[in-house]
Amino acid sequence: MNTPQVAIPAGFQVHVSNIGVKDTTDDFVVIAAGQPVAADGVFTRSRFAGPSVTLSRSHLIDHRARGIVIISKNANVATGPEGIANAAEISRLVAARLGCAASDVVLASTGVIGRQYPMERIIAGCAEVPADLGAPGTGGTDALAAAIGIMTTDTVPKVSQAVIGTGPARVVGIAKGVGMIEPDMATLITVLTTDAELPADELSTIFRRVMDRSFNCVSVDSDTSTSDTAVILASGAAGPVDPSEFEAALAEVAIDLTKQVARDGEGAETLIEVQVTGARDHDQAKRVAKSIVNSPLVKTAVHGADPNWGRVAMAVGKCATDTDIDQDRVIICFGDTEVYPRQLGESDLAALSRYMAGDEVVIAVNLQIGSGVSTVWGCDLTDGYIRINADYTT
């Protein structure tokens, strides 16, 4: 797995601790710059979005933030007025340690829904945030430690980095999330940091464009979280960069994290990449690709290396409102092998089964309607997913 030691970009400091939200693993992470910096965030569109999401959305309206607090093992969702008050209090307490306005602190939470925060322990944890965190030497610089601190049922921490152009500016991202993953605006939680200097509006435009073709293209189980949060913070410490080089680096990190999330889906053993081409437009391509990658029957067939490609035809077909999809034009491939309309013999099916037994399965569908394309990522559905989720809170 991809778990290198990665330093956070210049201009940021990291604080990671265990405050006992659920157990003794790290569960409290603060990433902060030395002063408010250019920032943006995209969030779940869930109608049950939690207080962390609503608070952060309002705090990022000005596209500036000093830092982000991430609490894992408790989502603080469906917790009523008490949950809203608690989120506001945490932002105030951390802001007081950092020496900034509460509105410059972003908050993200992940974990069980419908339980109040253990506020006594969280208040104690906030008090231990280093004063003026973000100023040089006030905290740590280990992005991997932060990635570990935000894990819930993730089996591996997810961190990725890329150099912008020839450097020295970099993009470093961390992410968590293995279930309840069908992001509608972002994945469960990801924090992207860069020491590049960009105007806030340009940062925002590039960030949202990259999110749309990375985290918004992953699905583990079709269940959209109440807590999806993706935040970017740009310290500017490494000076100005070429925007297109920045976008390339940001996309590299975001897509790498997206694939790490898919590969670590709850119980997952196989990464599934679905490429749809020849669609009427991008939206149709993505709708068909999501239909395939979310199909429990496709996912279980991949798990069993069962060469039952007809289930991909089924998943294309169930996009019933796309009446321009014509089964006489559709081409379906697994890897480089066309499975439809070509009729497969027994030896072809055996070869297909061997291909499906690999670590990654690529399913490519050409609708032959237009030029719309989309690539999405997901994972197989295994008895491990059942085991993990049949006994989560108890």
Minimum distance of a second copy from residue 316's CB (angstroms): 6
Considering 187, 194, 229, 258, which one is annotated as catalytic? Answer: 187
Residues 110, 150 contacting (CB under 8 angstroms): yes
Q: Which is nearer to a second copy, 146 or 339 (CB)?
A: 339
Cβ-in-10-Å burial (0-12, 13-18, 19+) of 250 comes to: buried
What is the helix, strand, coil percentage profile of the chain, to 5? 35, 25, 40
CB of 331 to a second copy, least distance (A): 12
- For 210-236, letters b (16+ CB in 10 Å) and e give bbbbbbbbbbbbeebbbbbbbbbbbbb
Cβ-proximal residues to 230 (8 Å cutoff; 6+ apart), any chain = 41, 42, 43, 185, 186, 187, 189, 190, 191, 192, 211, 215
Residue from the set 89, 322, 348, 360 that interacts with a second copy by CB under 8 A: 322
Q: Which of 80, 136, 199, 240 binds a second copy (CB under 8 A)?
A: 80
Report if residue 74 touches a second copy, rule: CB under 8 A.
no
Token readout for 207 is 């960030």
CA–CA dist 381, 379 (Å, integer):
7
The phi and psi torsions of 68 (rounded to 5 degrees) equal: -130, 140
From residue 223 to residue 242, the character string flagging contacts with a second copy as x (rule: CB under 8 A) and all else as - is: xxxx----------------
**Minimum distance of a second copy from residue 58's CB (angstroms):** 17
Applying CB under 8 A, among 314, 331, 362, 373 the residue interacting with a second copy is 314
- Minimum gap (Å) between residue 59 Cβ and a second copy: 20
Pick between residue 172 and residue 178 the one whose CB is nearest to a second copy.
178
Span near a second copy by CB under 8 A; candidates 2-10, 24-32, 178-186, 236-244: 178-186
Q: Is residue 394 a contact residue for a second copy (CB under 8 A)?
A: yes
Q: How far apart are CA 120 and CA 123, in angstroms?
A: 5
C-alpha to C-alpha distance for 312 and 299, rounded to whole angstroms? 10
Subset of 4-43 contacting a second copy (CB under 8 A): none
Binding residue for a second copy, selected from 27, 182, 252, 256, defined by CB under 8 A:
182
46 binds a second copy per the rule CB under 8 A:
yes
Helix runs in the chain, H state only: 51-59, 80-98, 119-127, 143-149, 200-212, 243-263, 282-293, 296-303, 310-317, 346-356, 383-389
The answer to whether residue 187 is catalytic is yes
The yes or no reply on residue 303 touching a second copy (CB under 8 A) is yes
By annotation, the residues acting in catalysis are 187
Binding residues for a second copy (CB under 8 A): 44-49, 75, 77-78, 80, 112-114, 116, 179-180, 182, 184, 221-226, 294-297, 300-301, 303-304, 306-311, 313-320, 322-323, 325-327, 330, 339-341, 343-344, 353, 381-383, 385-387, 389-394
